[in-house]
Amino acid sequence: MEEKNSNQGRHGIRAIFTNFMLWRKQHKIPFKWEERYAYVVLALLSIFIGAAAVLVSLHEIQVNNKKFCQVLGTAVPAPKPKDPVKDPSRERAYEGYVKVTRLSHDLGCS
C-alpha cells in the first residue's frame, strides 16, 4: 500500500511546495542551488511588482479624490441653509449640506 500524502486536499503555497518536493524525492531529482536562486529571484520580483501595483493604485485614488473635490467645489456650490430650528422645512437641505461638507472634509478638500 502506498503512503498517503498528508497535504492532499490542502491549498496554499506551503502545500504546493511540499507536494513539489515530495514529487522530486519520489523521482530522485536533486534540488540544486541554482534553482533555489531562481526561486528567490522570482519571489523578489513578485514582491516588487505587487508593491508597484499598490503604489500605482494609491496614486490613482489620490488623483480621483482631487477630481472629486473639484466636482464638489464647482457643481455643488451650495450656500449654508438657514437654521433648521427656526425653519423646520429647511431641515433636509441642512442635512444634505452637512453631509457634503463632511465628505469634502474627509477627502481633504479645502
Q: What is the pLDDT of residues 31-70, one digit of tens each?
A: 666 677 888 889 999 999 999 999 999 998 888 877 777 7
**Phi (first) and psi of residue 68, to 5 degrees:** -65, -35
Round to whole Å and give the CA distance between 49 and 66.
26
What pLDDT was estimated at residue 1?
A: 41
Average pLDDT over the chain, rounded to an integer: 77
What's the pTM? Answer: 0.44
First and final CA of the chain: distance in angstroms? Answer: 74
Q: Which of 12-16, 30-34, 85-89, 91-95 has the lowest mean pLDDT?
A: 30-34
Model pLDDT for residues 9-22, shown as the tens digit of each residue: 567 778 888 888 78
What pLDDT was estimated at residue 107?
A: 74
What pLDDT was estimated at residue 6?
A: 54
